[in-house]
A and B are shown apart, each in its own frame.
Chain A
Amino acid sequence: MPELLRIGVDVGGTNTDAVLLGGCTVLASHKAPTTPDVGSGIVAAIDDVLRCTATPAAAVGAVMIGTTHFTNALIEARNLCRVGVLGLGAPASLAVPPLVDWPAALRAVVHGHTAIVAGGFNYDGRPIAPLHPDEVRRAAREFAARGLEAVAVSSVFAPVNPAQEDEAARILQQELPGVDVTQSARIGRIGLIERENAAVLNAALLPMAGRVVGSFRRALANLGLRAPFFVSQNDGTLLDPDVVTRYPVLTFASGPTNSMRGAAFLSGRQDTLVMDIGGTTTDVGVLVQGFPRESSVAVNIGGVRTNFRMPDLLSIGLGGGSRVVVADGRVRVGPDSVGFRITEEALVFGGRTLTATDIAVAAGQAEIGDRGRVAGLDRRLVAAALDEIHRLAEEAVDRMKTSATAVPLVLVGGGSVLIGRELTGVSAVTVPAHAGVANAIGAAIAQVSGAVDRVYSYEALGRDAALARAREEALSRAVAAGASAGSVEITEVEELPLQYLPGQAVRIRVKAVGDLALERAA
């Protein structure tokens, strides 16, 4: 039986990378510029890895795509739609209206209208107030009058009881045919503000999500790839593309997670710092036993607080496309970047903008583009810019390190050529083979997960039964998401007792992860 072939793709803001993996071996990789239509960049990258290995499209078992498209849309506040927000919880929850803590500019783009109606639940599942369908219909008319394309619904304690969100969504869909509805309980955990924020962000991305997933599908169809395809989510595991069209927000942290998982795979190191230098930014994170260390604080995305579990990352504005300028006698590198236009704008590609990549080429650290075009650069400028690049990298390492002792560092990403010498505070720099496409490799090796986050009563159920129920649900969610039943394992169990309450109310979080079911992919 031939070995299962997988293709991993990373669609970044600058480059689209593809890798072809046979089992645990990287057979080919290719880096192509990200195209404005997304799809043709994917076609170009995948086509290259198939052609150079003479692999027929039919031999590919699965395609995994990781993308920062949705994150970038949010950060740049573009391609977002205006959202109606329906809160179920009055009279509770009125003291803090939705979106109150958002950056004003993003709120202005996204916020269509807010209606808070009677509803919501207590921690034990008792309703705060019953839902009145007439109030939901009235809100729907207000959303319709403003021509809103999407609605986010969030109910108090929806993770304990999603019934009112379900009911409100049903009514909204009747009243507003063609309008997308996001229910908070489907994407977020306990914590009303953060879950509501995630639901609103998700709703704002829905029209774009349909277009992006559609362009993925067309790209694969154009290549004659009939294999199932998946999209990476925040924790590095896989989503069905249909799920992405409904829950694009679940892809937010996939870029850095994939890059760090890919770095672990390529370097064989399980505990190390990882520095991923892309076209625009450099992310520094920490691998602990092969997985990214997670951030302990609420994660802000584009200035919006969410409770997604994200890798603990430091991002700085240094990348291959960073502009290099001299101002007041000092050389500055970044934070602004030419991004995906690097192949037109960088000097080595015949452009007129001095970029960090030009500096690396001029210093002899990299063979990219036409070296002759940077031969005439002032050597002192090149040396000063190199110093600045390394100073920025060293500072980032120092901020992520938690002890004074030197630590190992795995360097990945297309911009890894910027680093050409030892870094202070680092014991050894490893640049693994295929370091430029670690993201795509992280996507290709991804597993499938299922998670539960809910409040249980230990008094009513008993601890063992409650934990067993949560584990069972996480396992079945992982299998439903495409994991092979035999491979699924519980990877995280967390119990958080709700203080001051009798009845032993305990919030349980469980995550199960397994390998992608091959029979589905074959």
Chain B
Amino acid sequence: MSMRIGLEHVEDLARGAAILGTGGGGDPYLGGLMLRQALQDGRTVELIDVEALAVDDFVVPFAMMGAPTVLLEKIPSGAEMLAALRTTERFAGRPVRALLCAEIGGVNALLPLVLGARCGLPVVDGDGMGRAFPQLQMTTYHICGVPAGPMVMADEHASTVLIDTREAAELERLARNMVVAMGGSSSVCLYAMDGGAAQRSLVRGTISLALGLGRVVREARRGSSDPFAALLAYLRGTEYYQHCRILFAGKVADLLRETAGGWAQGRVVVEGLGSWAGRSVTVQFQNEHLVAREGERVLAIVPDLIALLDSATAEPITTDGLKYGQRITMLGISAAPIMRTPAALAVFGPAAFGLADPFTPLEQLG
């Protein structure tokens, strides 16, 4: 099963990726513009199923790493993406057969497609996070034993740096320093693997999922029907994400942000409106939304997804875009089973973010 991604898919994909970004991952608007530019003149990029890979095909995820705010100003050149890919191939001594997505939440959902359109490589339908996460070891690739290194980083001058270590935390530390030296954002190739490893470690079908989420919101708006009902109906028809519900709806009553260790941490307090009136829910975030609580009671917790959407339009809102008085609706979505194993929870479960609460699946809460 494969499909061609063209200009007509960009808007849906960008919106779906923002929903899956759970507040972080960077605004995919810019990724959408880059993709539209790359798909000018009728160009397309092929989206393939992971089963279409041969077990020894060489595949590599492509992403950008750094501060989303920097990306809003320092838009990439395009040359750095190819430089990261070519240096990866040169070091491995073999050509890349297909690109993978590292992070479906936010701008990184679109960037492998930008590179694919520019260099003619297909992109595999799926990713390594099933959402957005703040650190590069927080992937199913890592959990399934794929080494993150060697990692190639490139800047807008197409200068590349190769970090050759197999230890993910060490790679994260070195890469963070290099991102700063590169001006706050870098193009990266990491977790290079073979087709067999991709088949074992991928969160499957998430690019199609993002496309579908974006499409149902667009269609609901055009038909003046309820976009939240459309989102729930769509998710319930999927294999992994069928546990989903509206957690809460109301208005932003308080917003606390602080910066610590380079993370945008904080919490947002939402006071209920309509059938939720008189109640209040707090969402704690570290770049992405981590946990939604009503009093002491947990409504949803990482790695399950908590998306905050504009109550009128179902447009996803990032933590940077939160404002007092906004009307928002919280959507809880179950993470894929591959992200809920003990090994996965050890890497990106609640404890990894300093939360004392155990992980409880969304479908057992509320």
Indicate if A90 sits at the interface (CB-CB under 8 A). Answer: yes
Note all chain A residues with C-beta closer than 8 A to B70: 123, 498, 501
User: Contact string, A88-107, partner B, CB cutoff 8 A, digits 1/0?
Assistant: 01111111110011000000
Complex alpha-carbon distance, A91 and B38, angstroms = 17
Indicate if A120 sits at the interface (CB-CB under 8 A). Answer: yes
Choose from A92, A94, A288, A399 the contact partner of B312 (Cβ within 8 Å).
A399
Main secondary structure of the interface of A (DSSP, over half): loop
Given A92-B156, A293-B325, A499-B262: A122 and B274 within 8 A (CB)? no
Instruction: Pick from A40-48, A185-193, A211-219, A239-247 the stretch touching chain B.
Output: A185-193
Instruction: Pick from B50-58, B76-84, B210-218 the stretch touching chain A.
Output: B76-84
Indicate if B317 sits at the interface (CB-CB under 8 A). Answer: yes
Give residues of chain A (444-497) contacting chain B, Cβ–Cβ below 8 Å. 458, 495-497
Main secondary structure of the interface of B (DSSP, over half): mixed
Indicate if B357 sits at the interface (CB-CB under 8 A). Answer: no
Note all chain B residues with C-beta closer than 8 A to A388: none
Instruction: Pick from A229-237, A325-333, A424-432, A502-510 the stretch touching chain B.
Output: A502-510
Q: Is the CB of B67 within 8 A of A123?
A: yes
Note all chain B residues with C-beta closer than 8 A to A100: 33, 36-37
Indicate if A25 sits at the interface (CB-CB under 8 A). Answer: no
Note all chain A residues with C-beta closer than 8 A to B354: none
Min CB distance A46 to B, Å, is 37
Min CB distance A259 to B, Å, is 20
Note all chain B residues with C-beta closer than 8 A to A126: 183
Q: Is the CB of B75 within 8 A of A96?
A: yes
Given A193-B33, A497-B257: A128 and B156 within 8 A (CB)? yes
Q: Is the CB of A92 within 8 A of B323?
A: no
Give residues of chain B (10-47) contacting chain A, Cβ–Cβ below 8 Å. 29-30, 33-34, 36-38
Note all chain B residues with C-beta closer than 8 A to A403: 273-274, 277
Q: Is the CB of B69 within 8 A of A507?
A: yes
Indicate if B263 sits at the interface (CB-CB under 8 A). Answer: yes
Note all chain A residues with C-beta closer than 8 A to B323: 294, 296
Choose from A93, A293, A499, A503 the contact partner of B74 (Cβ within 8 Å).
A93
Indicate if B220 sits at the interface (CB-CB under 8 A). Answer: no
Q: Is the CB of B30 within 8 A of A96?
A: yes
Q: Is the CB of A91 within 8 A of B312?
A: no
Q: Is the CB of B78 within 8 A of A95?
A: yes
User: Residue on A with the closest CB to B273?
Assistant: A403
Complex alpha-carbon distance, A288 and B253, angstroms = 13
Complex alpha-carbon distance, A100 and B29, angstroms = 13
Min CB distance A293 to B, Å, is 6
Note all chain A residues with C-beta closer than 8 A to B68: 499
Give residues of chain B (94-114) contacting chain A, Cβ–Cβ below 8 Å. 114
Complex alpha-carbon distance, A496 and B318, angstroms = 13
User: Residue on B with the closest CB to A497?
Assistant: B259
Note all chain B residues with C-beta closer than 8 A to A498: 67, 69-70, 184
Q: Is the CB of A502 within 8 A of B180?
A: yes
Indicate if B179 sits at the interface (CB-CB under 8 A). Answer: yes
Note all chain A residues with C-beta closer than 8 A to B30: 96, 193
Q: Is the CB of A499 within 8 A of B263?
A: yes
Note all chain A residues with C-beta closer than 8 A to B311: 402
Q: Is the CB of A120 within 8 A of B74?
A: yes
Q: Is the CB of B37 within 8 A of A92?
A: no
Indicate if B327 sits at the interface (CB-CB under 8 A). Answer: yes
Indicate if A70 sits at the interface (CB-CB under 8 A). Answer: no
Min CB distance B182 to A, Å, is 9
Given A499-B264, A501-B67, A502-B262: A92 and B184 within 8 A (CB)? no
Indicate if A156 sits at the interface (CB-CB under 8 A). Answer: yes
Q: Is the CB of A190 within 8 A of B259?
A: no
User: Residue on A with the closest CB to B315?
Assistant: A297
Choose from A156, A499, A500, A503 the contact partner of B73 (Cβ within 8 Å).
A156
Q: Is the CB of B75 within 8 A of A402?
A: no
Indicate if B142 sits at the interface (CB-CB under 8 A). Answer: no
Note all chain A residues with C-beta closer than 8 A to B294: none
Min CB distance B323 to A, Å, is 5
User: Residue on B with the closest CB to A191?
Assistant: B72
User: Residue on B with the closest CB to A399?
Assistant: B312
Q: Is the CB of A500 within 8 A of B66?
A: yes
Complex alpha-carbon distance, A399 and B311, angstroms = 10
Indicate if B251 sits at the interface (CB-CB under 8 A). Answer: yes
Q: Is the CB of B37 within 8 A of A501?
A: no
Give residues of chain B (269-304) contacting chain A, Cβ–Cβ below 8 Å. 273-274, 277, 287
Note all chain B residues with C-beta closer than 8 A to A340: none
Note all chain B residues with C-beta closer than 8 A to A404: 274
Complex alpha-carbon distance, A234 and B77, angstroms = 33
Indicate if A252 sits at the interface (CB-CB under 8 A). Answer: no
Q: Is the CB of B75 within 8 A of A496?
A: no
Complex alpha-carbon distance, A91 and B158, angstroms = 9
Q: Is the CB of A101 within 8 A of B273?
A: no
Indicate if A143 sits at the interface (CB-CB under 8 A). Answer: no
Min CB distance A10 to B, Å, is 27
With A101-B36, A128-B156, A498-B67 known, 13 other A-B pairs at CB within 8 A are A90-B77, A92-B74, A93-B77, A94-B77, A97-B37, A190-B69, A193-B30, A193-B75, A297-B315, A496-B69, A499-B287, A500-B66, A502-B262
Chain A: residues with CB nearer than 8 A to chain B?
89-97, 100-101, 120, 122-124, 126, 128, 156-157, 190-193, 288, 293-294, 296-298, 399, 402-404, 458, 495-504, 506-507
Can you list 5 contacts pairing A with B, beta carbon distance less than 8 Å?
A: A91-B79, A92-B74, A95-B76, A157-B73, A404-B274
